[in-house]
């Protein structure tokens, strides 16, 4: 449960809000790289953290990210001409480069130096993991680039998609660090009695705070001979989930994988979700895994590549099928992450946390909220909040079936393969 005040504090991220200012100290994923495919391509509207921006790639291939309002008389620069190293407003022809400098002002006398006095805000960008990231904070506090393991492996070893979710970002993150729901919401085969998470439905959670956020483990007892099914996760502030994927659903070993999401606020009521998966194996991902097949996050099957709107969405009850719910899976909804998104969107656009009743299985969620409140305080006091300085480089999520007398911390050497934590 949270007070009305704290619920507002962690969920609102527009310019000038405490959480918004804290989040602006992090690199934020804003677009897929294919949205700006080549030099001088079409400009793209980007709404992030309640700000309306326009992105373009100039003639040299550099990315510009500017407010979508011409400083002359406020028209949208999205309608501008992307030409010769700048974006030209089509109202009176003022032209801006990727640094926000006005480089041409053709409706003023040639002898005028007014153009040198007009400068737009221009945000820094970085490309990694087939994603374009932006830094929206103060220019004297730019953190190192966000090098997660999934952003650094070759393209052949990674799949990434993006879609729009119609609710506040915090309840989406909470869904990602809530392992106990997977026994129910994601039971996709009611007849299969071998599913580990159906066999053991009340995981024991332990949360260990780190300098990037926390790691948490879920321990599910199986039979005495088998031991415990352990899954570890990382929560990296403010909105990253990293989860394990080396144990198949009935306990079989699979190609070492990890998947996760970044839930980025479009504004307080909408979120863009980046879904990623990768392997650190020497062999690349197979086509199905690379495409995120079966998750509800697959391009062209589940998501429109231009609007980023999912086929199964709030407007059609995520194509709920009652017959399927009776006979095949727990929800009647297809796609593991569609199931997540559906339930998160039913909580109300901004969940009312004054009314909830949290149990022991919500330990990780409680810890996350504390960290968000702490980040707001640290940022407000002029410091660097956890996870903003690249502390997450070299972390992995691991799952395994361990003998009953082994604690999840036995997995730590694998969770921190480069030994930085
Ligand atoms: S409004 Fe853009 S040049 Fe006038
Ligand atoms: Fe889930």
Q: Which ligand is nearest to the CA of 341?
A: 2
Q: Which ligand has the nearest atom to the CA of 106? A: 1
Say how many Å lie between the CA of residue 107 and the centre of ligand 1.
9
pLDDT of residue 210: 96
**Is residue 130 classed as helix, strand or coil in its secondary structure?**
coil
Rounded to a whole number of angstroms, the CA Rg of the chain reads 23
Strand order in the sheet with 63-67: 44-48, 51-57, 63-67
pLDDT at 286: 97
Measured in Å, residue 175 CA sits from the centre of ligand 2 at 6
Beta strands 399-402; 253-267: pairing state: unpaired
Q: What is the model's pLDDT at position 393?
A: 85
Q: Please give the mean pLDDT across all residues of the chain.
A: 96
34 CA → ligand 1 middle, Å = 29
The gap between the terminal CA atoms of the chain, to the nearest Å, is 31
Residue 150 pLDDT > 80: yes
Residue with tokens 């979710």: 165
Q: Tell me how far apart the alpha carbons of residues 169 and 233 are, in angstroms, rounded to a whole number.
A: 19
Q: Which ligand has the shortest distance to the CA of 80?
A: 1
Pocket test for ligand 1, best of 66, 67, 73, 114 (most atoms within 8 A of CB): 73
363-380 helix and 4-11 helix, angle to the nearest 10 degrees: 70
The answer to whether the pTM exceeds 0.75 is: yes
Residue pair 273/261 in contact by the 8 Å Cβ criterion:
yes
Q: Which one of 68, 75, 80 would you pick to mutate in the ligand 1 pocket, going by the greatest count of ligand atoms within 8 A of its CB? A: 75
Distance between Cα 24 and ligand 2 center (Å): 27
Closest C-alpha among 416, 130, 126, 172 to residue 290: 130
CB of 54 closer than 8 Å to CB of 76: yes
Where do the domains of the chain lie, and which CATH numbers do they carry?
A: 27-141 (2.102.10.10), 149-415 (3.90.380.10)
> CA-CA distances (angstroms) from residue 280 to 163, 246, 260?
25, 11, 14
φ and ψ of 196, to 5 deg:
-60, -40
The atom number, within ligand 1, closest to the CA of 70 reads: 2
- For residue 243, how many other CB atoms are within 10 A of its CB? 21
- Show the ligand 1 pocket: residues with CB < 6 angstroms: 70, 72-73, 75, 89, 91-94
| pLDDT score of 404 more than 70 | yes
What's the confidence (pLDDT) of residue 421?
52
Predicted local distance difference test score (pLDDT) of residue 419: 64
The percent helix, strand, coil of the chain (3-state, each to 5) is: 25, 30, 45
| Residue located nearest, by CA, to atom 1 of ligand 1 | 73
Nearest to 88 by CA among 111, 123, 59: 59
**Closest alpha carbon to 259 in 283, 285, 282, 222:** 285
CB 29 within 8 A of CB 380: no
Closest ligand 1 atom to residue 73 Cα is 1
Mutate to test the pocket of ligand 1, among 89, 112, 114 (most ligand atoms within 8 A of CB): 89
pLDDT tens digits, one per residue of 59-92: 999 999 999 999 999 999 999 999 999 999 999 9
Q: Is 321 exposed, middle or buried (0-12, 13-18, 19+ CB in 10 A)?
A: middle
How far apart (Å, rounded) are the C-alpha atoms in residues 179 and 235?
Answer: 12
Collapse the DSSP code of 243 into the 3-class scheme (helix H, G, I; strand E, B; otherwise coil) and give the result: strand
Give me the pLDDT at residue 418, please: 79
Rounded Cα distance between 394 and 138, Å, is 27
What is the whole-number distance in angstroms between the Cα of residue 183 and the centre of ligand 2? Answer: 9
- Angstrom distance (rounded) from CA 168 to CA 270: 6
Closest ligand 1 atom number to CA of residue 74 = 1
Q: Which residue's entry shows tokens 């050497």?
A: 413
* Coil, strand or helix at 188: coil
Contact assessment for residue 147 and residue 393, using Cβ atoms and an 8 Å cutoff: yes
Q: Closest-lying ligand to the alpha carbon of 90? A: 1
In angstroms, the CA 340 to CA 335 distance is 9
Which residue puts its alpha carbon closest to atom 4 of ligand 1? 92
- The answer to whether residues 64 and 87 touch, using CB atoms and an 8 Å cutoff, is yes
Q: 215: CA distance to ligand 1 center in Å?
A: 50
Query: Which among 102, 161, 180 has a CA at the least distance from the CA of 295?
Result: 161
Ligand nearest to the CA of 174: 2
Q: What is the pLDDT of residues 181-205, one digit of tens each?
A: 999 999 999 999 999 999 999 999 9
- Ligand 2 centroid–CA 340 distance in Å is 5
CA of 163 to the centre of ligand 2 (A): 16
Q: How far is the CA of 409 from the centre of ligand 2 (A)?
A: 24
Tell me which of 68, 86, 91 to substitute to probe ligand 1's pocket, judged by most ligand atoms within 8 Å of the beta carbon: 91
**Which alpha helices (DSSP H) does 274-320 contain, by range?**
287-290
- The H or E element spanning position 266 is strand 253-267
- Any idea which ligand is nearest the CA of 77? 1
Q: How far apart are CA 346 and CA 144, in angstroms?
A: 37
Q: pLDDT tens digits, residue range 342-399? A: 999 999 999 999 999 999 999 999 999 999 999 999 999 999 999 999 988 889 999 9
């Amino acid at each position: 449960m949270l007070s009305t005040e704290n619920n507002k504090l962690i969920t609102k991220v527009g310019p000038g809000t405490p959480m918004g200012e804290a989040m602006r100290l992090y690199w934020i994923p804003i677009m897929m790289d294919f949205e700006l495919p080549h030099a001088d391509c079409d400009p793209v509207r980007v709404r992030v953290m309640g700000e309306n921006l326009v992105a373009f790639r100039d003639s040299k291939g550099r990315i510009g990210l500017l407010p979508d309002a011409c400083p002359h008389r406020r028209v949208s620069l999205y309608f501008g001409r992307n030409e010769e190293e700048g974006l030209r407003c089509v109202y009176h022809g003022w032209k801006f480069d990727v640094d926000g400098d006005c480089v041409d002002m053709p409706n003023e006398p040639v002898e005028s130096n007014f153009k040198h006095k007009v400068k737009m805000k221009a945000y820094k960008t970085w490309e990694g993991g087939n994603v374009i990231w932006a830094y929206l904070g103060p220019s004297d506090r730019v953190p190192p680039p966000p090098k997660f393991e999934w952003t650094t492996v070759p393209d052949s070893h990674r799949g990434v998609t993006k879609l729009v979710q119609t609710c506040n970002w915090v309840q989406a993150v909470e869904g990602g660090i809530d392992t106990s729901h997977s026994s129910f919401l994601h039971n996709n085969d009611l007849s299969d009695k071998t599913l580990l998470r159906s066999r053991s439905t009340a995981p024991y959670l332990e949360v260990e705070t780190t300098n990037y956020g926390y790691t948490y483990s879920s321990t599910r007892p199986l039979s005495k001979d088998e031991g415990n099914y352990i899954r570890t996760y990382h929560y990296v502030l403010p909105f990253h989930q990293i989860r394990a994927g080396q144990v198949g659903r009935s306990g079989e070993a699979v190609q070492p994988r990890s998947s996760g999401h970044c839930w980025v606020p479009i504004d307080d009521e909408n979120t863009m979700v980046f879904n990623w998966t990768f392997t650190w194996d020497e062999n690349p991902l197979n086509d199905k895994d690379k495409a995120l097949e079966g998750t509800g996050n697959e391009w062209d099957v589940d998501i429109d590549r231009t609007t980023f709107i999912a086929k199964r969405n709030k407007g059609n009850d995520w194509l709920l099928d009652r017959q399927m719910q009776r006979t095949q899976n727990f929800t009647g909804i297809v796609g593991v992450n569609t199931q997540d998104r559906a339930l998160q969107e039913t909580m109300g656009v901004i969940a009312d946390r004054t009314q909830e009743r949290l149990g022991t299985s919500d330990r990780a969620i409680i810890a996350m909220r504390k960290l968000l409140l702490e980040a707001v305080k640290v940022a407000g006091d002029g410091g660097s909040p956890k996870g903003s300085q690249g502390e997450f480089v070299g972390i992995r999520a691991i799952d395994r079936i361990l003998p009953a007398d082994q604690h999840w911390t036995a997995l730590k050497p694998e969770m921190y393969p480069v030994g930085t934590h």
